[in-house]
Amino acid sequence: MECFLFAATIALSAHCQPLYDVEGRVATYVAKVGYRPHSEAIKAIVKASETFQVNPITLARIAILESSFNPKQKPHQSPDGTWDFGLFQINEINRDTICSEFNVMQVQGNAMCAAKILSELRVKWSGRDQYWIARYNSKNPVNKAKYWRRFASL
């Protein structure tokens, strides 16, 4: 079925999804790889991706790796003794420093923090480290490579 463009409005049928339906694309992707696409998490990812110019599918993939796409993920203690929180498992150090303006205990704040971290990693490392996305999880070269393989397999 086709979508027809009428003077800057799109007439949609039941089988026609507009190209700009980012929420739908993210939800479809999450479901396709075997996870439940929680609507609150999808909306948070889309807003964060727009705010920080981060690919929303990249954010979804990280949420899958960090919490199995569970927006109610319980806090997890890292090997270094610090705590990680929420959908993107934001570490308390990041929560208290580069993400202090967000409430990472809320899904939207958690997604905004993750997108901000990714945005900063992209600026600092994308030309110097082929695994720059994996720096979200670890700076250790072995752990980065493992994380990257898991990320790339999604």
Query: The domain spanning residue 65 has which CATH number?
Result: 1.10.530
Predicted confidence (pLDDT) at residue 125 exceeds the cutoff of 90:
yes
Asked whether residue 113 is assigned to any structural domain, the reply reads yes
115 and 92 in contact (C-beta within 8 Å)? no
Tokens of 127: 């030309």
Tokens of 93: 């150090």
Alpha-carbon gap, residue 58 to 10, rounded angstroms: 28
Asked whether residue 34 is assigned to any structural domain, the reply reads yes
Asked whether residue 4 is assigned to any structural domain, the reply reads no
Number of domains in the chain: 1
Asked whether residue 16 is assigned to any structural domain, the reply reads no
Helical segments of 16-128, H only: 22-32, 39-52, 56-67, 92-96, 107-125
State pLDDT tens for residues 3-22.
333 233 333 333 444 556 99
For 125, the domain range is 22-153
State pLDDT tens for residues 136-154.
999 899 999 999 999 999 9
Predicted confidence (pLDDT) at residue 109 exceeds the cutoff of 60:
yes
Rg value, the chain, Cα: 17
State pLDDT tens for residues 53-71.
999 999 999 999 999 999 9
Asked whether residue 132 is assigned to any structural domain, the reply reads yes
Asked whether residue 100 is assigned to any structural domain, the reply reads yes
State pLDDT tens for residues 70-107.
999 999 999 899 999 999 999 999 999 999 999 999 99
129 and 62 in contact (C-beta within 8 Å)? no
Asked whether residue 57 is assigned to any structural domain, the reply reads yes
What is the pLDDT averaged over residues 107-126? 96
Tokens of 58: 């990249």
Asked whether residue 90 is assigned to any structural domain, the reply reads yes
Cα dihedral 88/94/96/98 (nearest 10): -110
Alpha carbon 150 to its chain's center: 15
